[in-house]
Amino acid sequence: MVHHGAMEIRGINPPRSRYHERGRFGRLFPGLSPFAVDTQDVRERLLEMGKRGGVMDPGADPAANPPNPANLSAGFTFLGQFIDHDITFDPTSSLERQNDPEAISNFRTPLLELDNVYGAGPVASPQLYDASNPNKFLIDASAPKDLPRNSQLTAIIGDPRNDENLIVSQLHLAFLKFHNAVVDDLTSKGTVHRTEIFAEAQRIVRWHYQWMVLHEFLPHTVGASVVEDILKNRRDNRCYTWRHEPFIPVEFAVAAYRFGHSQVRPGYRVNANFAAPIFNATLDASVADPNDLRGGKRSDRRFVEWKFFFRIEPNSTQVGLRIDTTLSPALFELPFIPPGAPTTDPQSLAQRNLLRGLVFGLPSGQDMARAMRIKPLSPEELSDVKHLRFDRSTPPWFYILREAERRAEGKTLGPVGGRIVAEVFVGLVEGDRLSYLRADPDWKPFLGSKPGEFFIGDLLKFAGVA
């Protein structure tokens, strides 16, 4: 399995083509210079910045890594991961080759269409579907609270990354059951011919999902006013544009959208009887039922009660961490990276993210802000990295996290990070000819608890998992 955030880091000074409107990975700011020249000295300073005990490590004091001041539910961290897997997938590792991001194929279509769930459909991906009723996804009758798995416990799903931790795997299962519930609803009503049920169910699922992303996930992530402005002023004053079809900007994929790493708690309660760290680096990966939340396992206790992750019931939901420049201690020792690996392949997620920005030649946060006509953070607001000489030309991932902390109190992303994330998501939906925004702009969801509204809690309830 290619773990989230764990691609190998190789390649030096990738070419910087300006041909970025090609439906692949590309650039928002192709004319801006990198935040630093890729030298051994710069790499050493980035490794120092992202190491255990460095400026991004909060240490053992929980107060140094506080919860989100807006009390944002912890489940949105994993919903964000699920959405990322929907729009980006490069099985050859985009960081592994000496290549320009514009030349790297995105094997996942850059659209919010759930191809990480649907695969290539019942005909081309029959292993994902129920042979007795190919309109529905396969659910293991002997283990209905888990993803379908083969005899070696490998999940039978459209994207193996959705089984890398228990929470995102259970979210994937919820989408399988949501689709199946929509099929049952259409079948019971008898308003759609049986040969069209799958296509109609898929459209309904996709449109409700797109609505939820634009009207719930994004407002929680960037602020409702930013989303409203972009939806109202289509294509006006945007940094994200394309000529023929949408692409995934590397400034989004490698910097802005990695904000979720700062929201990850050290551990979670997943149901009334099971709470565990997100992962435990000291555990053998072969343990059948480890006391952590890694994926690829099956036992009676390994299922999610969604009331602990989204506000389905009062007074039970866990809160994600504040968006800032600190990461949970466990993220400095990724268990799927061998201990003692070379500095080009560090265990620290912070180090890996910082090196990615260097490898791809991303511009500084300050230069991106100026290009977007946004006042940059001052050197004083970045004084903790002055000794590393990154206070005036700051790696964009770190800058976006600090901007969220200083400009939005850590509740949401700040003006640069928030605008990039919001423009990309809205642009991906606008660029999809089959999305509700393009096919039927006045469409409203109808499967929620209130007409015209649809949120993640509605999806989980309709799917029968909450």
The confidence score (pLDDT) of residue 19 equals: 45
pLDDT along the chain (466 residues), means of 10: 53 43 74 96 97 95 93 98 86 38 54 93 95 97 97 95 96 98 96 94 98 98 96 81 87 96 97 94 82 94 98 93 96 79 80 94 97 97 98 98 98 98 96 95 96 97 97
Q: What are phi and psi of 407, to 5 degrees?
A: -100, -20
Count: domains in the chain? 1
12 part of a folded domain: no
Residue 270 near residue 121, CB atoms below 8 Å: no
Q: Is 299 left (phi over 0), alpha (psi -120 to 50) or beta?
A: beta
The confidence score (pLDDT) of residue 62 equals: 84
Residue 294: strand pairing partners: 165
Q: What is the pTM of this model?
A: 0.91
Residue ranges of alpha helices (H) inside 159-294 are: 166-189, 197-212, 218-222, 224-232, 250-253
Question: What b/e sequence results for 130-155 when a residue is b if at least 16 CB atoms lie within 10 Å of its CB, and e otherwise?
Answer: beebebbbbbeeeeeebbbbeeeeeb
Q: Which residues contact 128 (CB under 8 A, 6 or more apart)?
A: 118, 119, 122, 137, 138, 156, 157, 158
The confidence score (pLDDT) of residue 339 equals: 66
9 part of a folded domain: no
3 part of a folded domain: no
413 part of a folded domain: yes
The confidence score (pLDDT) of residue 96 equals: 35
Q: Exposed (0-12), middle (13-18) or buried (19+): which is 232, by Cβ within 10 Å?
A: exposed
328 part of a folded domain: yes
Cα separation, 352 vs 395, in Å, equals 12
Residue ranges of alpha helices (H) inside 25-156 are: 40-49, 75-87, 115-118, 121-124
Quote the distance between the C-alpha of residue 252 and its chain's center: 11
Residue 277: strand pairing partners: 267
The domain of 113 spans 25-462
16 part of a folded domain: no
Q: Positive or negative CA dihedral for 449, 147, 6, 305?
A: positive
Nearest 5°: CA angle at 50, between 52 and 89? 115
Cα separation, 136 vs 123, in Å, equals 12
Residue 306 C-beta-side C-alpha neighbours within 13 Å: 25
CATH of the domain at 337: 1.10.640.10
5 part of a folded domain: no
Residue 465 one-letter amino acid: V
The confidence score (pLDDT) of residue 20 equals: 45
439 part of a folded domain: yes
Q: Which residues contact 290 (CB under 8 A, 6 or more apart)?
A: 280, 283, 284, 297
